[in-house]
Every structure is written in C-alpha cells, then in structure tokens.
Amino acid sequence: MVLLTADLIAKSISRFKKKRGLSHPEYLKTITHLHFSNKNIQDIGDISLCRNLTVLYLYDNQITKICNLGFAFNLTHLYMQNNDITRMENLSSLQMLSKLYLGGNRITVVEGLEQLTELKELHLENQRLAPGEKLLFDPSTLLALAKSLCVLNINRNNIDYIRDLAALKELHRYCEKHFLVSIYFQELEDVLSHWPQLLQMDLRGNPVCKLSKYRDRLITACRSLEILDGREINELTRQFLINWKASKEAKMRRSNIRMLTGPLICQARCLMGTRKPEAPSRPAAKLRSGCVCPCLAVQIFLHRFFQYR
C-alpha cells in the first residue's frame, strides 16, 4: 500500500530541498503545492508539517477515504477526482477551501460541507453509482452553501429531482449533462427563477432538451443566462423572446377576463332594461343572442371562474 507521508514527500523533492539549503522540516513548511496525482496512493498519512499547503493534487489514485487533512487551514484547492471515495467527510476544518473536485468517485450523498463557507466550486460529476442509485443532497449542506457556491457540476449522476437546488442562490454555472431520468420542465423553470445570477448552464443529453421550445423557454425563464448548452445567447434573440412571451400572456389575460365578465355584463343589461332576455330555444350555453337569465349567468360565471383561476 502506498501511503502519502512526509517521508514520501521528502523523497520526491529532495533535490529542491538541497538546492535551497533547508532542513527537511523547514522545507516542508514552505510547500504550498503538492503534486501526487497518479501515484497509486491508497491512503493519506501524516503530512501535517506542510502547514502552508494551499493546493493539493491527489487525483487518479486509489484513495478510499478523505482523512488527515485537519491541519490544512490554508488549503484552497483540493483535487481528488477518480479515486474510490465513498463519503464526503473530514472536510470541516478546510474553511478556506474554494474549489473541491471529487468527480469519478463512489459518493452517493453530498454532505459534510456545512463549515465550508468559502466554497465557490463543487465538482461531483460521473460518480460510479450502483444500478438504481442516484446522487442525493443533504439539505443542511445546500443551505450552508447557499451564499457562496457559484459552480456546480453534477453530470451523469441519475438525478431526477432538482427542486432542493433552488437554495443555491449565488449559482453562476450549472452543469448536469446526461442524467437518465427525465424531470418536469415546470420544475426546471421554477428552480431557475431562484438563480438570478446564473450565467452558464449545460443540460445537453437530457430528455428535457427534446421538449418543444426548450431553448426559448429557458432563455425567458432565466434572463441572466449568457451561454446555454455551449451556445451563446444573442441579446436581440433574448429581447424578442421576452417581448413575445409578455404579449402572449397579456393576450391570454384579456381573453380570460372577457370569458369571465361576459355573462355579468349581459345580466346587468337585462336588469337595467336596456336589453330583454330571450327565451332559450337551445341549450343555455349556446343561446343565439348570448344573453341568459340572471341565475344562469351567475352559474356560468362561477364555472368559468374556477376553471380558469
């Protein structure tokens, strides 16, 4: 088993240590970046002498557990994608962490990030999940990240429910390509209304992309979007779609008002004597004159009111 330790670090940087004329402990204290990707590392040992560490590269290894990083108060970037990690744990002390890369592991629940108030980017794409499993989100973690998280990458994780993600109000970039289960478009629109600063979104490969007017509806639902599915949004196109939607909604409102108030206007004319009600020669809903008796007018009004409200 290959264990990441201070001795292993010393062997890999011995020539630099000698060049600067520093002792082993002294040099470890000066290290800010550690590159140990693709080294068959299976566990993280005691590397606490690297107290000024800010960036740690441990991707493409065989690590099963995040541990022994409690000393790294200055760590801002952690790259641990493509390992065998199953839980997001022992991260609470990394309060300066800005970017966390855990894609390609075996994580099933996004959790344990409540103390990471500086986290800007979270990458969890392509988790190696068992058949039927999907990536889940701990509500307390989402709430804690609401004011900081700007980038969320959760590609290919079988997610079919995203309403909880509405809590991430500072999100600028959202990527969720190729999930297997479709979601309701209305749910997607509702979530987008809670992301006023979203600039980029990529949903390519999802069933929702096949819906009619998919792109047009998302552009009008999230007016801050600049890039959707890798394609830039033209500002003239955006304004045209917004105006078209507003015109359509206004026309629908006018139509509903006419349908709701028509019977009452007719009733008022009859009661004022400006128009005589006619006896129906066919079903009341299809009267030749459109005028109905007061009682029937009220019934029709109530029916349409509850139908279109």
Whether 287 shows a pLDDT value over 50: the answer reads: no
Most confident of 70-84, 146-160, 240-254: 70-84
pLDDT-based confidence at 73, cuts 50/70/90? very high
* 214 or 142, which is more confident: 142
Predicted structure pTM score: 0.75
The full 3-state SS of 183-215, as one line of letters, equals CCHHHHHHHHCCCCCCCEEECCCCHHHHCCCHH
pLDDT-based confidence at 200, cuts 50/70/90? very high
**Average pLDDT along the chain:** 82
Most confident of 47-56, 175-184, 291-300: 47-56
In tens, the pLDDT along 266-282 reads 655 655 555 555 555 44
Domains belonging to the chain, first-starting first, are 3-247 (3.80.10.10)
Of the chain, the percentage scoring pLDDT greater than 90 comes to 46
DSSP state of 226: S
In tens, the pLDDT along 6-61 reads 989 888 875 555 546 677 888 889 899 999 999 999 999 999 999 999 999 999 99
Query: What is the Cα–Cα distance from 144 to 32, expressed in whole angstroms?
Result: 27
Whether 159 shows a pLDDT value over 90: the answer reads: no
Query: What is the Cα–Cα distance from 243 to 233, expressed in whole angstroms?
Result: 16
Burial class (CB in 10 A: 0-12, 13-18, 19+), 5: middle
In tens, the pLDDT along 94-138 reads 999 999 999 999 999 999 999 999 999 999 999 999 988 999 999
